[in-house]
Chains A and B, each alone.
Chain A
Amino acid sequence: MTRRPTPLLLAAAVLLSAIYLFPLYWMYVTSLKSGSEVFAYPPTFLPESLDFHIFAEVWQTRDMASFLWNSLVIASGSMAMVAVLGTGCSYVLARYRNIWVDIALFLVLMLQVLPASLMITPIFVGFSALGLLEYPRFAVMIAFTAKAMPFFVILVRATFMSIPGELEEAALVDGNSRIGAFGLIVLPLARNGILVSAILIFMQAFGEFVYSKSMIQDVTLQPASVGLNGFMGPNTVEWNKIMAYATIYVTPILAAFVLLQQRIVSGLTSGALK
């Protein structure tokens, strides 16, 4: 058996990625088309003329600066909360093995199964009772943190488990306290796994829609995902502008992912101790 992909497999891979990435391509192409070209039949696969003014126009008219700023605030806040709470939680779940830990892990996994659209009603009622909806962006951060936590915990717990307990014991004998050993030995070794998982959480939070849409009524506090949704009324014809909006929204995230992908993939697959 050779490890080289056969031409057939290669063709299948190319075809599948093409299908998968087509919507993205269509978004970029459509954003550059003129209003009439969007509805042309047969559709054009390359825009007739390149008009980049549309981006500046959409940015201005849709007040995107405010929307993107809110997305950034919600994503950063969620990431910070997930990282801080989730790291401690994953460490405990990685280091201790007993029936309670098993139960906790089961619950964590179960949370992952529940869809946001189902959870939003009880969360909304509860938050409203607590008065949290006065601070809607913060409320979204909390709700999203709870939603994203299992994913983070599962990834980071695996990272902690790959760090041998003897390293910590060596540090204890060498003069560290429990907390010192965690901070000086375990955290640096788990850093890559934690960073990568946090970045993935950030990217998820940047696109979060269900909670923001339900909990944030004030337009000036809404993130870009809700803004995009508001752009798409039932009689929308400005598809090129919507696509320009979407392009401005996702391109930074895509660029960051492409730039970091090497580290992300290696951070997730290699153990801490290579």
Chain B
Amino acid sequence: MTQQPQIELVSVNKHYGGFHALKDISVTIAKGSFVALVGPSGCGKSTLLRSLAGLESITTGEIRITGETVNETPPRHRDVAMVFQSYALYPHMTVRENMSYSLRLKRVPKTKIDAAVAEAAKILGLEDYLDRKPNALSGGQRQRVAMGRAIIRNPKVFLFDEPLSNLDASLRVHMRKEIRALHERVGATSVYVTHDQIEAMTMADHVVVLKGGSVEQQGTPLSLYDMPATKFVAGFIGSPAMNFVSGEITGDGGSVLLDLPGRPILPLARQATPGRKVEAGLRPEHLSLAPPGVPAIETRASSVESTGSVTYLYCGGDPEIIVLSQEREPLSSGEPVRLTIAPENIHLFDPQTGLSIGQAAG
């Protein structure tokens, strides 16, 4: 059974004058899914979201919501709700009026509105604040009101533009879970913009990585982590970021020779073209201290940081290699260390194009 997708973006292009902000973007979003758009600042995430909302018009391509082309449809007829980064609460209205605004515009009967406000306020824990103005609320409470204004409408699609970026770290983690729970409870389709890959990884079913206005890779969070298609995605997803070391495939095609002091040779899980120049990607959490006898990167710990639960080892200098260990490593800075990695965890990328050279686990 194939269900009709809730949102389809077909070859969407957007130009701001001479600036090409969105480049040939095609994304399909299933009904009820939670999709994250991530990427570095300026990559076009907000532009894409605003195009979905109808606040920007696209230059070419097509946007469909439940099968209907909405390229020319004004925002009010798209049945989407949006939570803005600045929350954009109406300052001259109380929380109750803010939340009920869209329903009042639709001339929903007052008793229904009251019930809807009461329910949304209960879900969001805003019952005590309904008669306050937004300027008498904390950042977290304002964020909830913005969410309330969206959920009360029961729209086809929720759009979030970095809704948590103005909150402090612990509240952010908390709201992450709440938004996800809310999404499940309401059962709507959500598109969530963030520059924080952890938010994208933890909240979304489907992650779209944007770079410079085009889709770099999309897929489930774990597929992006396990099989990054490009060096950019590999470095963007995962924290601390993946280590990159340039090197060359050995003559037998079964190992990689790294450009590091001591010229270490690490075995690969699959054959590669002998002599090919590569960038090897080694995730900090996949590296570990080598037992004697196995092939290893010989280096020196330049600093050791322990958070109690995990230990960060910063090794060597050019390039620096970060190791994330679950153990309390009995090491101090300056000591020599030997690092190893399972062959299937080595990612290889073309140094010129940055594309993955089908090597890593999968």
> Nearest Cβ distance between residue B145 and chain A, in whole angstroms?
12
> Nearest Cβ distance between residue A58 and chain B, in whole angstroms?
47
B75 touches A172 (CB 8 A): yes
Question: A175 to B149, alpha carbons, bound, how many Å?
Answer: 12
B225 at the interface (CB under 8 A from A): no
B292 at the interface (CB under 8 A from A): no
B76 at the interface (CB under 8 A from A): yes
B185-205 vs A, Cβ < 8 Å mask (1 yes, 0 no): 000000000000000000000
Residues of B near A173 (CB, < 8 A) are 53-55, 75-76, 80-82
A48 at the interface (CB under 8 A from B): no
A166 at the interface (CB under 8 A from B): yes
A174 touches B55 (CB 8 A): no
Question: A174 to B84, alpha carbons, bound, how many Å?
Answer: 12
Q: Which residue of A lies closest to B149 (CB)?
A: A174
B84-105 vs A, Cβ < 8 Å mask (1 yes, 0 no): 1010111110000000011001
A176 touches B53 (CB 8 A): no
A175 touches B106 (CB 8 A): yes
B105 touches A175 (CB 8 A): yes
B92 touches A188 (CB 8 A): yes
B:108-157 near A, CB below 8 Å = 135, 149, 153
**Contact among A167, A177, A188, A189 for B76, CB-based, below 8 A:** A177
**Contact among B54, B86, B91, B102 for A174, CB-based, below 8 A:** B102
B54-70 vs A, Cβ < 8 Å mask (1 yes, 0 no): 11000000000000000
Residues of A near B105 (CB, < 8 A) are 174-176, 180
**Size of the chain A interface, CB-CB below 8 angstroms:** 19
For the side of the interface on B, what is the size category? 20 to 34
A98-122 vs B, Cβ < 8 Å mask (1 yes, 0 no): 0000000000000000000000000
> Nearest Cβ distance between residue B95 and chain A, in whole angstroms?
15
> Nearest Cβ distance between residue A122 and chain B, in whole angstroms?
40
Q: Which residue of A lies closest to B55 (CB)?
A: A169
B88 touches A170 (CB 8 A): yes
A170 touches B76 (CB 8 A): no
Residues of B near A4 (CB, < 8 A) are none
> Nearest Cβ distance between residue B162 and chain A, in whole angstroms?
12
Residues of A near B319 (CB, < 8 A) are none
A131 at the interface (CB under 8 A from B): no
Question: A176 to B101, alpha carbons, bound, how many Å?
Answer: 10
B101 touches A174 (CB 8 A): yes
A172 touches B76 (CB 8 A): yes
Residue picked from A170, A173, A189, most chain B C-beta under 10 Å: A173
Question: A209 to B217, alpha carbons, bound, how many Å?
Answer: 71
B75 touches A166 (CB 8 A): no
Q: Which residue of A lies closest to B50 (CB)?
A: A169
> Nearest Cβ distance between residue B234 and chain A, in whole angstroms?
35
Residues of B near A88 (CB, < 8 A) are none
B275 at the interface (CB under 8 A from A): no
A274 at the interface (CB under 8 A from B): yes
Residues of A near B91 (CB, < 8 A) are 167, 189, 272-273
A189 touches B92 (CB 8 A): yes
Residues of B near A164 (CB, < 8 A) are 86, 88
B74 at the interface (CB under 8 A from A): yes
A185 at the interface (CB under 8 A from B): yes
Known: A176-B105, A274-B135. A169 touches B88 (CB 8 A): yes
> Nearest Cβ distance between residue B189 and chain A, in whole angstroms?
15
12 A-B pairs (CB sep. < 8 Å): A166-B84, A166-B88, A169-B75, A169-B88, A170-B88, A172-B55, A172-B76, A173-B81, A173-B82, A177-B74, A189-B92, A274-B135
11 further A-B pairs in the complex, CB-CB below 8 A; given A173-B53, A180-B105: A164-B86, A166-B84, A169-B55, A170-B82, A170-B89, A172-B75, A173-B55, A173-B75, A174-B102, A175-B105, A189-B91
Q: 9 closest pairs, A vs B, by CB?
A: A170-B88, A166-B88, A174-B102, A175-B105, A172-B75, A175-B76, A173-B82, A173-B75, A273-B91
